[in-house]
Amino acid sequence: MSGDPPPPVRHVTSRRVLAVRGESLEVRDDRVVGEAPLEIRAAGPHQDPVAVAVTMRTPGHEAELAVGFLRTEGLLEDQEVLGTSGGDPRASSQPDDTIVVRLSRPFDDSKVAERHFVATASCGICGKASIDEVALRVDPLPAGPIVSRAVILALSDLLRAAQRAFDETGGLHAAALFSPRGELLEIREDVGRHNALDKLVGSQVLAATMPLQERIVMVSGRVSFEIVQKAAVAGIPIVCAVSAPTDLAVEAAERLGLTLVGFLRGDGFNVYTHDGRIDLRDLSGLG
């Protein structure tokens, strides 16, 4: 795992609250997770920046979020990311609320009009592409890796142990990248689970480690269609989650060739699709 940078100033804030506990009342400070809009823009050489989307996110890792969003939404393909820049500090008190991703090739703004992006922190890009549309822009996922049951069972505790901001606020989702041996390689947190995954993918795009064909992603909370879609676009073959998947997430995982694991807690989990990537040969009872 790479070295952890210090959390940004607006990542977690402090607020005065009235805390009611049984018959007692206490006035105290409480740690609250930050949330703010981020405008994502993209531009090729000699091209004015194109506004792509505005998403609500937890401040921090803005460049990774913007790059990851473009990649997992199929808007960043073979273009090389030359760099990113924030807003003009002379024109905004929060210049990091705007990120421009600079590309080596022109950005096709017609794709933005086609996709009708509307993003929120809770559900990601809502009311857009069908599974068929997603399948058209996702490369076939690789067959491997084969991961042991012991590795899968260890992921939840490893994720929880690495969630520093959640310990302070109880309000952040996380997405973590693991090797097939269960090594924690990177983790990102955000008020939106899809944003956490975009930040994670963006970190790997910027580190030139794509595609992620030999990696596992573990996410907190439930698994939505958005999470499956974004993982598949990034080439991630195995997605694990603490909670349940939606029916559309299961359908998408089945059709996109992705192994989907849910309810990963304690000594158990459910495998919803493509169980061949998990080695369960030591178990009995499969009829």
Q: Which ranges constitute the DSSP H helices of the chain?
A: 62-72, 110-115, 131-136, 149-162, 164-169, 193-206, 225-233, 247-256
Q: Are 230 and 201 in contact (CB under 8 A)?
A: yes
Q: Closest by alpha carbon to 201, among 165, 172, 171, 226?
A: 226
Taking each helix axis from N to C terminus, what angle separates 225-233 and 62-72, rounded to the nearest 10 degrees? 90
Is 126 annotated as catalytic?
no
HSE value, Cβ hemisphere, 13 Å, CA-based, for 173: 27
What 3 state SS string does 70-111 have?
HHHCCCCCCCCEEEEEECCCCCCCCHHHEEEEEECCCCCCHH
The partner residues of 125 in beta bridges, in order of sequence, read: 119
**What gap in Å lies between CA 14 and CA 33, rounded to an integer?**
9
Task: Out of 32, 51, 54, 123, pick the active-site residue.
Answer: 123
Q: Are 186 and 176 in contact (CB under 8 A)?
A: yes
Catalytic residues: 123
